[in-house]
Chains A and B, each alone.
Chain A
Amino acid sequence: MGRKMGYLVLTIAVAFMIAGCSKAPTQELDTATASIKDVAAAGAEKYSPEDLKKLNDQIAAANAEIKAQEGKWFKSYDKAKEMLTKVKADAEALKPTLAAKKEEAKKNATAVQEAAKSAVEEAKTLLAKAPVGKESRADIEAMKADVKGLEDGLTEVQNLVTSEDYRTAADKAKAISDKAASVSDQVKQAMEKVAAAKKGKVKK
């Protein structure tokens, strides 16, 4: 009887040891969470939102696994640890691609910004050459006001580039380029109109 009691106590002690030995992977969880925050700060939401969502889903799944294990008599956090290690590895792999994507967006925005500057400059040069005669004065004045609006727009583009909002900057710069080209066409038409009027007067 004494011997049986001894086995029972030993079995219970071993069971408690096994059950108590597994600790929740809090450190791995903290590391994985920090790696997600790190990629989010590096612009994942802007440049790779789907990858960021996948990372968040993965960590949520790992949390669910931890929760499930916590409710068990014999806990095993191996799977959760494995999942959290994968989150960290995926986040670390994502980070350098974000930098590349950001650089690409910046390059694109800067190129469109330069094109917009050139287009506005061309419109300004044409306007400066345009003869402000009686026939074209109002048109030229109106177009000068248009160009002023475009120059204000270029300032906004620069502010957007400075604040690293490259996509909005590129969109705005593209709109400026298009409008500047349309102003240049109008100036040319106004100049042609004046030239035609002068030619007409010579005939008379």
Chain B
Amino acid sequence: MKAFRPFLLLGVFGLLLFSGCEGPPIPQEVGQAELQELDLWRIGGPLYAPQEYQRYKSALSKAKDDLIQESSRLFFLRDYGEVQAEFKALLKEGEGLRARIGIEKNSRALDVDGQIAARRAKIEKLRWLASIINEGYLAGNALTKAELALAEAAHLSKQGEFESARERLQGLNGDLKVAQNALAPLLARYTDPALNAKWRRWVAETVTESQSRGKMAIVVSKFDRLLYLYRGGNVVKTYPIAIGRYGASLKRHAGDLATPEGKYSIIQKRPHSKYFKALLINYPNEEDKAAFIAAKRRGQIPRSIGIGGLVEIHGGGKDGMTYGCIALDNKQIDELFDMVDVGTRVTIIGSTDTKNEISSALTGL
């Protein structure tokens, strides 16, 4: 019996080595955790929850170390119970992280989309402001660049690349500022309280005159693009009009294509005009002349340029642009022509309302 003992031990050893020596299988949670980690990376873990993702990665790394350590033990001593529990906990943590990433992504999407909507509204507002004062060329270049950046940002946001979208949005702020600065001096006239007060005073005086004398009077609002006909202090007719190419500005000299502002009168009725019928007004009045001389003295107007004249209310159509005159549709100038006389007051203003649309639009910018 003693002689057989070494063979018996060798037999048992051999049996252990070649039959059940593989030990327990590696828990399935290990593979699941690896796939989960890849998935969390794909959905943007490092970007949307960097700290939590890093913690998760560290825990995964530790769990893998523990797995290697356990795997390196002799097969009959291996027990993956603790490692399995560790990976199970990790998978649970991963699911929490997935939810956290989802929340963060949604929040960023909302933020970026909100910013895109706000910038789009601002661009549209600036385009509108530019169009109502006929100065699209001043802001067009910058606004187009801003629109391109906005389109890129919207595209990136759609693809879930919110950080890149944010960068594009930041970049277009400069272009919006350029556009805003180009338009601001022209728009500021319409929101200037002192200028508005002067325009309101002119209108009040014109209406009072019309009322006291029971006569006709004309008030032209450049901002509203409307001509109001008064009789006895009341508006009896309203006509849509066109003004000068640079009509939003104050006329200062000949050829500036601006429409004057001031209190004028009809000095001649022209039944046969290049633009159907015309009512010539007495631009430049004394105030215009004084302003012109002062501007020339300051060197703001070149010596060779005159003050200009021949400003009329004429036909030709309300949809066009003039060289500084006020244009109505032919049918309407025909009607107006017969209702007014030489001497009828014509008051041209920018706007009477400080809280006009420009003001509201500028407040939002």
Contact residues of A with B, CB < 8 Å? 50, 53-54, 57, 60-61, 64-65, 67-68, 72, 133-135, 137-139, 141-150, 152-153, 168, 171-172, 174-176, 178-179, 193, 197, 200, 204
Contact = CB atoms under 8 A, between A and B. Distances in A.
5 contacts: A60-B61, A138-B136, A138-B321, A175-B147, A178-B151
B141 A148 contact: yes
Nearest to A135: B320
B321 A179 contact: no
Interface stretch (B63-71, B204-212, B357-365): B63-71
A107 to B, nearest CB: 20
B148 A153 contact: yes
A144 B61 contact: no
B223 to A, nearest CB: 16
Given A138-B134, A138-B245, A204-B330, A143 B140 contact: yes
A61 B144 contact: no
Contacts of A65: 68
Interface in B236-272: 245
Contact of A139 (B37, B136, B152, B156): B136
Give chain A's interface secondary structure class. Answer: helix
B137 interface: yes
A172 B68 contact: no
Contact of B136 (A50, A141, A175): A141
Interface of B: 37-38, 41-42, 61, 64-65, 68-69, 72, 130-131, 134-145, 147-148, 151-152, 155-156, 245, 276, 317, 319-323, 330
A93 B130 CA distance: 57
A179 B154 CA distance: 14
B151 A135 contact: no
B70 to A, nearest CB: 10
Contact of B65 (A53, A64, A138, A200): A64
* Most chain B beta carbons < 10 A, residue from A145, A150, A172, A174: A145
Contacts of B65: 64, 67-68
A144 B317 contact: no
B141 A141 contact: no
**Which of the listed residues B139, B145, B245, B276 has the most CB atoms from chain A within 10 Å of its own CB?**
B145
A67 B155 CA distance: 45
A133 B317 CA distance: 13
Nearest to B64: A64
Contacts of B156: 171
Given A150-B144, A197-B317, A142 B136 contact: yes
A154 to B, nearest CB: 10
A57 B41 CA distance: 12
Contacts, number: 106
Nearest to A144: B137
Contact of B148 (A147, A149, A197): A149
Contacts of A176: 148
B320 A144 contact: no
A145 B139 contact: yes
Nearest to B147: A179
A146 B141 contact: yes
Given A134-B323, A171-B156, 6 more contacts: A64-B68, A134-B322, A138-B136, A142-B131, A149-B141, A171-B155
B249 to A, nearest CB: 13
Nearest to A152: B145
Contacts of B322: 134
A183 to B, nearest CB: 8
A93 B288 CA distance: 81
A175 B317 CA distance: 37
Contacts of A146: 140-141, 143-144
Nearest to B146: A149
Contacts of A148: 140-141, 144
- The 9 A-B residue pairs with the shortest CB-CB distance in the complex, in nearest-first order: A142-B136, A145-B140, A149-B144, A175-B151, A141-B137, A135-B320, A138-B134, A68-B68, A149-B141
Given A145-B140, A179-B144, A53 B151 contact: no
Contacts of A64: 61, 64-65, 68
A152 B178 CA distance: 15
A162 to B, nearest CB: 18
A143 B65 CA distance: 65
Contacts of B72: 68, 72
Contacts of B138: 145
A194 B138 CA distance: 23
Most A CB contacts (10 A, CB to CB) among B64, B137, B152, B323 go to: B137
A49 to B, nearest CB: 9
A54 B147 CA distance: 39
Contacts of B151: 174-175, 178-179
Nearest to B145: A149
Contacts of B69: 68
Contacts of B147: 149, 175, 179
Contacts of A172: 148, 152
A204 to B, nearest CB: 6
Nearest to B152: A171
B175 to A, nearest CB: 8
Contacts of A72: 72
A44 B99 CA distance: 29
